[in-house]
Chain A
Amino acid sequence: MKNIAKKTDAVRIFDAEMMTRALRRIAHEIIERNGDLSGLVLAGIPVRGVALVARLVADIEAIENVKVATGVIDVSMHRDDVGTRGALSVVRPSQLPLPLDQRTVIIVDDVLFTGRTCRAAMDAISSFGRPACIQLAVLIDRGHRELPIRPDFVGKNLPTAPAERVRVRLESIDQEPDGVWVLKPKKND
């Protein structure tokens, strides 16, 4: 372990092909779990969750020939830590197809960690209406939950140490090849 940490601080978990396969499997699972795709909304959390929604929608369309509805949930104004976080990134407008009443909303994000973002997203969704069901799909579940939240669809379960960071890159946003890495804290001595 010590050797690895000295040699490199980034361990690759997914390359582009592995990510594509993981997303395709999630798409299959979403179809299997939700019979009626017409009532489905895939709602991404900016920015990478939104990009993942586009991938999942394309996968579902390729499999079932149905184009499912999409949305965006920006959780910035629903967080419980306003004034304690550092730099703010711009808040984006949330958008969901209305009414939500008969629909199933699947929250899509890249990394699930403490669960606080997901809680804020559920809170945001409820200000739009009362969906029949809310589910959660994530590319990486890295553990360390601080709330009773559990994902319904997972690309990969990735046990991590709290100090580690998970780095997700998507070509459509980051202009570099798709991939997931674990960044270990560097040893200074």
Chain B
Amino acid sequence: MTDKTQSWTRKDLLGLRELSAEEIHFVLETADAFKQVGTREVKKVPALQGKTLVNLFIEPSTRTRISFELAAKRLSADIVNITAAASSLTKGETLKDTARVLEANHADIIVLRHRSAGAPEFLASRIGASVINAGDGAHEHPTQGLLDLYTIREKKGGFAGLHVAIIGDILFSRVARSNIFALLKMGARVTLVGPTTLVPRVFEQMGVTVSHRLEEVLPTADVVNLLRIQHERQRKEYFPGLGEYIRLFGLTKARGKLLKPDCLIMHPGPINRGVEIDSELADGAQSVILDQVTNGLAVRMAVLFLCASVVKQ
């Protein structure tokens, strides 16, 4: 009786590396439906009524946490926010014990942001609740990757043959990794651009091109995704200095002229204006930075809905 063979069977979303192209496509299609909900008179659906979602953010974040919170509220879930400072983790409790306590309080979904790569996977294998990775160290940030893909698909119609340039701090970026895994699966071509210290050649093993000269990449790019310089993760020796970075890799007004007229400018935020990108471009016609935010809500609703809908043993 089924008209579609594709489906979703994961209780957790830990990364985009393990997803198939079909699964990514499935999430993006589901997000279409949830994006429509935002245009209704009542922007709320009862899908997760009676479910409890915990935002467990051991590392600071505002936009991702708020996006998940709004997504959960629009799905009618109950929601609790826990930040590192307010959690018992500061009193020495382990992550696993914190999660088990949450589960004993009947949490159905735990959205975890953690500084250590692999923390969400660790939790997911030990508790029955759904675990959504909201960023783990420099590993993955799957919902950011999905919302970037959603935005590209919305504006460009698909991925096949697209040239996506990811610019900046790749080494420390979980956003870059999630994007790379997913974009390659969907048939796009990816070039990483940045200083040699932050974009080492070893990334070529992932199937991408590495460049250290921004001017050579910009004219052929269909999408440029600018990553924030993660001051908090870096030590001095990785970074040439802000002035030098802007001079070599900042998307300045002058460099913006090298872009194709229909090239999309993306940024996961928060923007360092005048560093990664000049204000004229961040606010210009090619910028889809605010679309990314709106789409993030739809994508996160879709992810929460799908993971919560999987029948648990």
Contact = CB atoms under 8 A, between A and B. Distances in A.
B41 A76 contact: no
Contacts of A129: 41
A83 B33 contact: no
Contact of A78 (B34, B47, B310): B47
Do most interface residues of chain B lie in helix, strand or loop, or is the interface mixed? Answer: loop
A165 interface: yes
B33 to A, nearest CB: 4
A87 B33 contact: no
Contacts of A79: 47
A4 interface: no
B62 interface: no
Interface in B1-26: 1-4, 6-9, 26
Interface string B45-56: 111110100000
B33 A92 contact: yes
Interface in B272-308: 302, 305-306, 308
Q: Which of A86, A91, A126 has the most CB of B within 10 A?
A: A91
Contacts of A124: 45
A173 interface: yes
Contacts of B3: 47, 89, 173-174
29 contacts: A77-B34, A77-B37, A77-B46, A77-B47, A78-B45, A78-B47, A82-B48, A82-B51, A82-B305, A82-B308, A83-B309, A83-B310, A83-B311, A87-B2, A88-B306, A88-B309, A89-B2, A89-B3, A89-B4, A89-B7, A91-B302, A92-B32, A92-B33, A93-B35, A98-B41, A127-B37, A127-B41, A167-B1, A173-B3
Interface of B: 1-4, 6-9, 26, 29-30, 32-37, 40-42, 44-49, 51, 75, 302, 305-306, 308-312
Which 10 pairs of residues, A with B, have the shortest CB-CB distance? Answer: A93-B36, A127-B42, A91-B33, A77-B47, A77-B45, A87-B7, A93-B33, A89-B4, A90-B29, A91-B30
